[in-house]
């Protein structure tokens, strides 16, 4: 199924402000436990809301691919269920100026 959005298309390759749900990193011990006990689940007790300026690399019906805005940053996938909001910036504002959200 194709997923197209004019606004997201305009922001591809650009910096966007993403609001998202985050939890702690899953440890190897937790992964092993879940594989060995598939009927079990582990609840995160430290879920947080995070806002971060990142590059919008791609999107589809499952979620978005983002990249932190630093040297040699890895891309990461964020499912739509963890995305609270995506806001773009006005590309015509000079660095250091006030950039209204679009």
Within-domain flag for 66: yes
75 near 57, Cβ under 8 Å?
Answer: yes
Give dist(CA 76, CA 41) in Å, integer: 24
98 part of a folded domain = no
- Render pLDDT for 20-54 as a digit per residue (tens, 0 to 9): 998 777 788 888 888 898 888 766 667 888 899 99
**Is 36 within the bounds of a domain?**
yes
The answer to whether residue 43 is domain-embedded is: yes
Strand 15-22 to strand 83-88: parallel, antiparallel, or no bridges (unpaired)? antiparallel
pTM, to two decimals: 0.71
pLDDT for res 26:
76
Looking at the structure of the chain, the number of domains it has is 1
Residue 56 burial by Cβ neighbours in a 10 Å radius (0-12, 13-18, 19+): buried
């Amino acid at each position: 199924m194709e997923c197209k959005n004019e606004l997201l298309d305009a922001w591809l390759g650009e910096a966007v402000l993403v609001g998202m749900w985050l939890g702690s990193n899953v440890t190897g011990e937790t992964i092993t436990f879940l594989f060995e006990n598939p009927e079990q689940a582990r609840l995160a007790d430290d879920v947080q809301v995070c806002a971060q300026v990142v590059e919008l690399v791609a999107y589809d019906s499952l979620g978005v691919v983002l990249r932190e805005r630093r040297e040699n940053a890895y891309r990461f996938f964020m499912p739509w269920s963890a995305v609270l909001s995506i806001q773009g910036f006005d590309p015509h504002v000079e660095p250091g100026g006030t950039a209204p959200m679009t």
